[in-house]
Amino acid sequence: MAGKTSALPAHRLSKATSAYLRSAAEQGIEWYPWGEEPFRVAKATGRPILLDIGAAWCHWCHVMDEGTYSDEEVARLVNLHFVAVKVDRDENPEVDRRYQKQVQAVSGEGGWPLTAFLTPQGETFLGGTYFPPTDGHGRPGFRSVLNEVARLWREERPQLREQAEAVSQGLRSGEERASPAGVDLSSFVEHTVSSALERYDPAHGGFGGAPKFPHPTGIELLLDFAARRSDPRASEAARLTLLHMVDGGLYDQLGGGFHRYSVDDAWHVPHFEKMAVDNAHLLTCYVAGWEAFHEPRFREVIEGTVDWVLGTLGRDPRGGFAASQDADNAPGDDGGYFTWSSRELRGLLSAEEFRAARWTFGLDGDARMPHEPSQNVLQRLFGPTEVAEHLKCSPEQAQAWTRSAIAKMRTVRSSRPEPLVDPALYASLNGLLIGALALASRALGDPRPLEAARKAADRFLREAYEPSRGVAHHLSASGAEGWGLLEDQSEFALGLLRLAEVSADGRYLESARSLLDLALQEFRPEPEGLLRDLSPRLYDGPKVGAWEAANFPLEDAPHLSANAATALALLHLSALLGEPGEDARTASLLGAMATRLRHAGLFGAGAALAAGIHLQPAVRVVVEGTGGEAEELWKAAVETYHPRKVLFRGAPRAPFVLPEEAAQASGSNTKARALLCRGTSCQPPMTTGEEVRTALREESRGS
């Protein structure tokens, strides 16, 4: 019976910058990293390419690496019949994006690990996702698949080439087809909101069924629509979704931060990887939710997520945030670091602590691991008042026992082998976290996240930014790599603009403006059109495979698309500068997006969010003065929801632009007052927090 192979000598992946690629250096497959060499070999030998795309955080990628690609017979067949290429989807998102589309067109499947069979020219003719080494999990064994693909390539190569060309041509036609003009932005927003509400799960919150992903842009869209239209249904859907997610296993009740998605529809049992992109978007979303609803639980979640980001992703002493934390802490693991058995907790906790923990976290209830029911995912089943009723004690006593239990559990968990943190520094992910941490810092009144955001921004601007090329995708020990990707320019610019506002530091604004100018110049094939995911002139990656295929990132997947991020960044730039010309540039981009996304439903939420924000004027609030009265005004401005508000303590210096009256405001003026400005004029000064709250709420309505 075939077993595992030993590692190849001098494996090509052993010195890769990607942790995902390096982990495959122990396999017997002659993997190549993405580049020109494997395509040259494929053309010279006439062999097809086996393409594997995965990531360090991906549980099923590990399962396939440990079971399938480490299988001796699989390795023999791959090395005999194919040229094998392994890609880290975080390191090469442009490669992943293209082949996800091709594999979905061929097989109807997508996700990670992505398994594709390519012609030597790089076009997909067959593909799928996870394959076990032998038949199992309802899927054909990879040994059988490899033998059959090799036979087809020998005997039916012309047909396979025709199929691959047809797939590529179909995708090209889809990207390049003209879209009908004239979609009204307000109608587009309303249609997208209606689609989101149709998919809303009133029992558990969120959208759709299992597996259930958070859709932060969908939630933010509902918050914006609810504020502008005083829509109670949208408001309640957003509020309950935010509550259900943080009370379920999706949120790490001990360590803070969010897992990637839930395998069930009630948020009980998650897939345990924690990703920078999810936590950045959800942190931003919960700040907005805190401003809209003032739920104490939301503030706790903001604090817990900030602590996890700073403590786990923010360990690099030079600044910057790591990409992800793995789901597993050992081969064959599935959530062992995060889960608990009642037996283990009985031995750890006092009787009172165990009873409090049992009611608080719903032990031995719906959040048991399906494959190992004795293990529990912690969820927040009851609060202190309900726990106290069950324990027949005061809420204060119940809370004390629960806190004591949590402290002991944290201590024990910290002694377990920690899941791997992928230390890779990506500009897009860092931009999202920089912006989220800046907003969280303002909401909490905590300087730590702002300091970390500034440190990360300064490092990228110092080491990975050039005005003529923008920001590079990856900052590694060898320097900046991967120029010319739209998501880096747009998401890093959006983060810089949020940081510029909170810090009142014009350096970040100027860099963001430069990035957005570059994006509109280099990534837009046609004036007034959509933005490509890469710039042919600036892109420095290997120009092989499907790299030339036009790709316009429009749909949220489920995270904010790069085109929507660009639109949101342009809107924020306009608000900071008071320049309606920026809104005009945004309107052009949004019009092009709306025509293509009018039937996308929830997956067009990012574009609809930007369109909704565009439909209302920006408001800028300047608070001046010191002491308790000024603090009350500032607190009111910070804690009142308005999706297009800009807040300053005193008038910032250029390049920020304010109406003349607000520009003269001094943060140290002894008289406390707040000025709310729209366009080139300001309302009469306000001197109470209630006036500020009322003014901001009124400004958010009516569009």
In tens, the pLDDT along 560-589 reads 999 999 999 999 999 999 876 667 789 999
| Other beta carbons less than 10 A from residue 134's beta carbon | 16
**Local confidence band at 526 (pLDDT 50, 70, 90 cut-offs):** confident
Res 10 pLDDT > 50: no
* In 218-360, beta strands by DSSP E: 261-262, 270-271, 274-275, 324-325, 340-341
Q: Pick the closest to residue 532 from 548, 514, 551 (CA basis).
A: 551
Res 701 pLDDT > 60: yes
The CA-CA-CA angle for residues 640, 383, 345, to 5°, reads: 130
CATH 3.90.1150.10 fits 19-176, yes or no: no
- Domains of the chain, by residue range, sit at 19-176, 209-420, 617-703
Dihedral, CA of residue 164, residue 169, residue 172 and residue 174, to nearest 10 = -110
**Local confidence band at 664 (pLDDT 50, 70, 90 cut-offs):** confident
Q: Pick the closest to residue 327 from 245, 257, 254, 418 (CA basis).
A: 418
Average pLDDT over residues 525-535: 91
Res 78 pLDDT > 80: yes
Average pLDDT over residues 351-363: 95
Dihedral, CA of residue 102, residue 108, residue 112 and residue 117, to nearest 10 = -50
Average pLDDT over residues 147-162: 95
Q: Which residues pair with 682 in a beta bridge?
A: 677
Helices (H) and strands (E) in the chain, counts: 26, 22
Average pLDDT over residues 104-124: 95
In the chain, pLDDT over 90 holds for what percent of residues?
83
- Least confident range from 302-311, 357-366, 577-586: namely 577-586
**Local confidence band at 1 (pLDDT 50, 70, 90 cut-offs):** very low
Q: What's the mean pLDDT when you consider all of the chain?
A: 93
User: What are the angstrom distances between the C-alpha of 171 and each of 48, 167, 558, 563?
Assistant: 21, 6, 21, 19
Alpha helices in 539-579 (DSSP H): 562-577
d(CA 111, CA 416) in angstroms, rounded, equals 30
Eight-class DSSP state of 616: S
Res 8 pLDDT > 70: no
Please report which helix (H) or strand (E) contains residue 681, including its range: strand 681-682
d(CA 181, CA 50) in angstroms, rounded, equals 41
* In 181-330, beta strands by DSSP E: 261-262, 270-271, 274-275, 324-325
- Tell me the two tokens of residue 298: 């939301």
Residue with tokens 């529809």: 265
Q: Pick the closest to residue 550 from 536, 528, 532 (CA basis).
A: 532
